[in-house]
Structure 1
Amino acid sequence: MKIDEKDRLLIKLLSRDARMPVSELSKRVGLSGPATSERIRRLESNGIISRFTLEIDLATLGYPLQAIVRIKPRPGNMHIVEEMIMNEPGFLDCDKVTGDDCFVARLALRSIADLDPVLLPFHEKAETNTAIIKSSPLRARIPV
């Protein structure tokens, strides 16, 4: 599917506010409401837009801290460690990566004291390296 500048603008606008009304979207991209709706449907049917989502303020929910945790499973423990990550609700997301570590995950924390209880079960199966996030100047940018 070819994507033009109006499609790119629609993607950018929807990435900032997925609940923006079609009437507002159509004004901003310079199309009629039906044409805008059709473009959104086409972007969805071609898999470019796969879902509409929301952004949560974790600090307001009681999780003022986040950490990046690099995890290197000990030999033979890759699948076990992956399952442990999936079953720990504090992990927000996780990527399998190349290099020394196999996983890089983002962890939400209520306090620094919560870090050890979350990571302690991993130490038998993996090595971990943790960095507390001070700020996030760039998050989830869309490359359009």
Structure 2
Amino acid sequence: MDIKRTIDETDLQILEILQVKARIPNAEIARQVGMAPSAVLERIRKLENQGIISGYEVRLNPEHFGQKLSAFVFIEANCASNDTLADRLADISGVQEIHQVAGEDGYLLKLRVADTETLGRILRNEIATIEGVRTTRTQIVLSSLKETRRVNLNPPAHD
């Protein structure tokens, strides 16, 4: 079992580099942070084992796969925390994100689909038919100005 340790400045540099380009060679990371490749590899493995790095993935352009429309769907649920409802929502094709939220709506979904016809079909035939879904409100994205999964490793200090 790996002992938890504090993330230092070098770890932050490594994480920043990996967030920009996860496939960067280990030797290049080592060069950028001024360490031996073996030491960098050991740090990366520790960050993975601690769950700080939770995985690596490729970002695909959804338009190349006919998924040009993004939409956010607010779902008012009969029950605020319903694992079955969340599991059913997760099984719907096109759902990229599910968030349980505070306020009137219980869930916020991000969908990526081909067009408004497909979105309407999913709303009527899949989401609305799930037990526990009371109402939905949908916002269609006109254009995306920024989309990222990067984590801010240098948040502003609070006064």
Same fold (TM over 0.5): yes
C-alpha distance in structure 1 between counterparts of 2:8 and 2:18, whole Å: 16
Deviates more, 1:131-140 or 1:51-60: 131-140
Q: Quick one: which amino acid aligns to residue 4 of structure 1? A: D
Q: Distance in 2 between matches of 1:24 and 1:4?
A: 19
TM-score (norm 1): 0.89
Question: Any stretches of 5+ residues in structure 1 without a counterpart?
Answer: none
Residue matched to 1:123: 128
AA matched with 2:30: S
Q: Which has the higher contact order (CA 8 A, sep 6+)?
A: 1
Match of 2:157 in 1: none
Distance change >3 Å, CA 127–CA 2, structure 1 → 2 = same
Change (3 A) 1:75 1:14: closer
Residue ranges of structure 2 left out of the alignment (5+ in a row)? 154-159
CA gap 1:50/1:83 in 2 versus in 1, 3 angstroms: closer
Picking from 39, 59, 62, the partner of 1:58 is 62
Q: TM-score, normalising length from structure 2? A: 0.81
The Cα of 1:76 is off from its aligned counterpart by 9.1
After superposition, give the CA deviation of every residue in 1:79-106 in whole Å (9 maximum; x if it has no partner). 5532331221110111111111111111
CA contact (8 A) 1:63 1:110 kept: yes
How many residue pairs were aligned?
A: 144
Question: Is the counterpart of residue 32 in structure 1 residue 48 in structure 2?
Answer: no
